[in-house]
Amino acid sequence: MPGTHIRPFLPALQRLRCSSAKMPIPPAIFTPDISTPSDSPYPSPLRQTLGQTAQYIRTSTPPPLIAPEPKVPPPTTVVEASKRLAAWTAVDRHVLPEYKVIGIGSGSTVPYVVERIEQQGRERNKDRVFIPTSFQSKELIVSHGLLLGDVDQYPVIDVTIDGADEVDETLNCIKGGGACHLREKVLAEAADTFIVVADYRKDSDVLGKNFKQGVPIEVAQFAYAKVLQNVHLIGSPEARLRMAKAKAGPVVTDNGNFVIDAPFPEEMMREPYTLLTRLKMLTGVVEVGLFCHMAKAAYFGNQDGSVTVKWHDGRIESVDSGSSLVPKPAHKVALQESTVAEP
């Protein structure tokens, strides 16, 4: 009778069939070749089981691990490229080997500042101390392996490089879109040299023309309602308390204060120092995001790969994007008269 030669093995084959449905069995177990006699019209039950097991192994075993191809970073946007170019140019020119105390600002351009400083090398940076203006810049300093300090330990800073929300033609700035302008202003005043870096969108002839959010005003929490009423009367009826986006309630600064955003008409923004003085006189105001007569130079990365450098004395310079960073001839522009002398 066909198949009688394996009948004694049927219980074992049945157990093998059941186990093969639960787990893969290494092929080495089945190396013996057990075939059906040539005169039998039926396939061997053992061969059937082996075939099912082999099929299970083929379909369930994952492919061998292959190292993925390295991902090429996507092309950066024109805006991000211009930020990096402005930051790198400013660092190359102003973070000199002899400078040991360096202020690091806040904003979307500052990561490129820290990136370029790190590229100056461990040997040059080992004796330097870096002072942050915010939690963001503190994290950047630490993550790049640089030595962290604070302004209460180092009240005199060689150079501070910071971003800006908008810069006018005489280098007055609006800062505070990130609610860090109190510490930013402290580090700007503490620095022998204060440099602003930004992309081409931040370059303006008058403050408030491009940055529509308004002048940031940091206020003590308990006094915000009183200050807000004062700001309305001064000339900003649309001034409002800045609300948080990722939580309920207002934005709270690193110093535990609130922020009021106050848009003012153009005629008032053309005299930023006068406006700054009026706002600072309000009781409850901690600091105002108007930086007047503070920057030595502002670096703007452009869409064409060049960098425009505006100096506090009125010079305007264009810098090539090549590695040599060769400056093109500068030209003079007229400075607006100011009632306050440059510090």
Query: What would the pLDDT profile of 97-150 be if each residue is shown by its tens digit?
Result: 999 999 999 999 999 999 999 999 999 999 999 999 999 999 999 999 999 999
pLDDT value at residue 113: 97
* pTM for the predicted model, two decimal places: 0.72
How far is it, in rounded angstroms, from Cα 109 to Cα 295?
16
Q: Decide if 166 is catalytic.
A: no
Burial of 90 (0-12, 13-18, 19+ CB in 10 A): buried
53: enclosing H helix or E strand: helix 45-60
pLDDT value at residue 246: 83
Task: Find out whether 324 and 256 touch, Cβ atoms under 8 Å.
Answer: no
Q: Name the fold adopted by 78-207+293-332.
A: Rossmann fold (3.40.50)
How far is it, in rounded angstroms, from Cα 249 to Cα 272?
30
Domain ranges of the chain: 7-60, 78-207+293-332, 215-288
Residues 306-318: tens digit of each pLDDT: 999 999 999 999 9
Of 264, 273, 259, the C-alpha closest to 341 is 273
How far is it, in rounded angstroms, from Cα 228 to Cα 239?
7
Q: Which residues in the chain come in under a pLDDT of 50?
A: 25, 27-34, 57, 59, 64-75, 323-343
Per annotation, catalytic residue among 166, 169, 184, 218 = 184
The CA-to-CA distance between both ends of the chain, in Å, stands at 112
- Distances in Å between the alpha carbon of 324 and those of 93, 306, 320, 321? 12, 12, 8, 8
Residue 136's φ and ψ, nearest 5 degrees, are -60, -50
pLDDT value at residue 165: 96
pLDDT value at residue 320: 84
- Distances in Å between the alpha carbon of 165 and those of 95, 175, 216? 22, 5, 10
How far is it, in rounded angstroms, from Cα 153 to Cα 163?
23
pLDDT value at residue 321: 65
Q: What is the CATH number of domain 215-288?
A: 3.30.70.260
Classified as helix, coil or strand, 274 is helix
Burial of 55 (0-12, 13-18, 19+ CB in 10 A): exposed
How far is it, in rounded angstroms, from Cα 113 to Cα 92?
10
